[in-house]
Amino acid sequence: MHWQTRLVQPQTLAPAGFRSLATPTYRGSTVLFERQADVVDDWRHGDGTYSYGLYGTPTALELAGRIAQLEGAHHTFVVPGGQAAIALIYLSFCRAGSHALVPFSAYGPNSEMAQGLLKGLGIEVEAYDPLIGGAIGNRIRDNTALVWVESPGSVTMEVQDVPAICKAARAQGVPVALDNTYSAGVMFDAFAHGVGVSMQALTKYVGGHSDLLLGTVSVNADALKQRIGATFKQLGLAVSPDDCSLALRGLQTMGVRLAQLERSTLEIARWLAEQPGVASVFHPALPSCPGHELWKRDFKGSTSVFSMLFNADFTANQVESFVDALNLFQIGMSWGGLTSLALVYPSLDRPGKDYAGRLVRLNIGLEDPSDLKADLTQAMQAMRRPA
């Protein structure tokens, strides 16, 4: 054979027997079959039944398996990000004419998809008060195909009565999907509390280093796996094996990171609650957080993200200057990494609440908490200085 042929069809292979602690990064689009008769196009990858890289190489399936174990799920799908996980869930359960319920406190881009893409497809998504509890049953209609819960909610941190919502939805045969990103899939046991579908953005705590985007959708029953799998296949939600490899590495240190983040975050949240000028702190482990009692009942712990509300005598410009004056806290979206972050939410849509320009969402990182408190102190002094 010519060398060009040998270049693309190599005959030598690395020696077998290498054992390491790291999961190999398997790249691959084409999957090889022994015989034509073996050729299938099936997303259900498993032992010896791979068909196409789009549905996951062994690196992605290793990650999926570990998340399923962590969450106690029957099956986990790995998708390109948390937002892709949200889209996969909507499109698996809703069709033209369907109705879905989503809390006011849902992750912003979830609501944006509801009012944008989904509306265009003839799917009606109705927002509800996150503290509705079992009364969600009264909002369920004949065409309700899905109820979303997110606990604690994004930015305003309302803890929901997930068991009561699941009970009411189950009574009317409606599946409940949970955005479990806050809990990293561990602080809240979705399936033990009645949820059928649980998603998280691995981008946050599993990745943990602000350098990858991935999401998961986990289910507790085979019927849900088959239903979501059919949509997963058609949408072509491929993930990078390199990102999956980073997420597998992130999982190894997530236990120690979460423990440290919980401690530092609690220390800073409690300290902030006592500072003059701070009207309220929305951290689920503090009584000032809506649904705090539910958090105590249902959660194993808390994580690194919470919000602070400044007194009404501060102007939006002053709150902005507070964020700008921070040195260690960086300004940026996403959270769950090693770096502390701060962000103002100037136009939060929360019926009955006036948080306009006064609410700052913080993510605590792995810096020493006393340095972070000093940074917050100097920024609160700076915001009081005349412009």
Ligand X SMILES: *Cc1c(COP(=O)(O)O)cnc(C)c1O
Piece of 15-23, 71-79, 197-205, 253-261 that binds ligand X (CB under 6 A): 197-205
Closest CA to 233 of 63, 65, 54, 59: 54
Residue 203 touches ligand X, criterion: CB under 6 A = yes
107 binds ligand X (CB under 6 A): yes
Stretch that binds ligand X, among 21-29, 81-89, 363-371, 373-381 (CB under 6 A): 81-89
Binding of residue 201 to ligand X (CB under 6 A):
yes
Q: For residues 278 and 360, which CB has a smaller minimum distance to ligand X in the complex? A: 360
Binding mask 322-341 toward ligand X (x if CB under 6 A, else -) reads ------------x-------
Q: Which one, 85 or 268, has the nearer CB to ligand X?
A: 85
The residue (of 82 and 229) whose beta carbon lies closer to ligand X is 82
3-state secondary structure the chain: CCHHHHHHCCCCCCCCCCCCCCCCCCCCCECCCCCHHHCCCCCCCCCCCCCEHHHCCHHHHHHHHHHHHHHCCCEEEEECCHHHHHHHHHHHHCCCCCEEEEECCCCHHHHHHHHCHHHHCCCEEEEECCCCHHHHHHHCCCCEEEEEEECCCCCCCCCCCHHHHHHHHHHCCCCEEEECCCCCCCCCCCHHHCCCEEEEECCCCCCCCCCCCCEEEEECCHHHHHHHHHHHHHHCCCCCHHHHHHHHHHHHHHHHHHHHHHHHHHHHHHHHHCCCCEEEEECCCCCCCCCHHHHHHHCCCCCCEEEEEECCCCCHHHHHHHHHHCCCCEECCCCCCCCCEEEECCCCCCCCCCCCCCEEEEECCCCCHHHHHHHHHHHHHHHHCCC
Q: How far is the CB of 81 from ligand X (least distance, A)?
A: 3
* Choices 92-100, 126-134, 196-204, 339-347; region in contact with ligand X by CB under 6 A: 196-204
Query: Site for ligand X (CB under 6 A): which residue of 57, 59, 76, 83?
Result: 83
Give the nearer residue to ligand X in terms of CB position, either 199 or 379: 199
- Minimum CB separation from ligand X for residue 130, in Å? 13
Q: Which one of residues 92, 105, 154, 183 is an interface residue with ligand X (CB under 6 A)?
A: 154
For ligand X, the closer CB: 179 or 298: 179
Contacts of 5 (CB under 8 A, 6+ apart): none
Closer residue to ligand X, CB minimum distance, 66 or 170 = 66
Would you say 71 or 179 has its CB closer to ligand X? Answer: 179
Q: How near is the Cβ of 208 to ligand X at its closest, in Å?
A: 13
**Minimum CB distance to ligand X smaller for 365 or for 383:** 365
* Nearest-CB residue for ligand X: 82
At what angle are helices 241-273 and 58-71 packed, to 10 degrees?
Answer: 30
User: If binding is defined by CB under 6 A, does position 306 make contact with ligand X?
Assistant: no
**How far apart are the C-alpha atoms of 150 and 331, rounded to whole Å?**
24
Segment 207-226, which members bind ligand X (CB under 6 A)?
213, 215
Question: Which is nearer to ligand X, 203 or 231 (by Cβ)?
Answer: 203
Question: What are the angstrom distances between the C-alpha of 352 and each of 98, 210, 348?
Answer: 28, 34, 11
Q: Which of 179, 243, 298, 375 binds ligand X (CB under 6 A)?
A: 179
280 is a site residue for ligand X (CB under 6 A): no
Stretch that binds ligand X, among 22-30, 47-55, 198-206, 232-240 (CB under 6 A): 198-206
Applying CB under 6 A, the site for ligand X has a residue count of 13
List residues binding ligand X (CB under 6 A): 81-83, 107, 154, 179, 181, 201, 203-204, 213, 215, 334
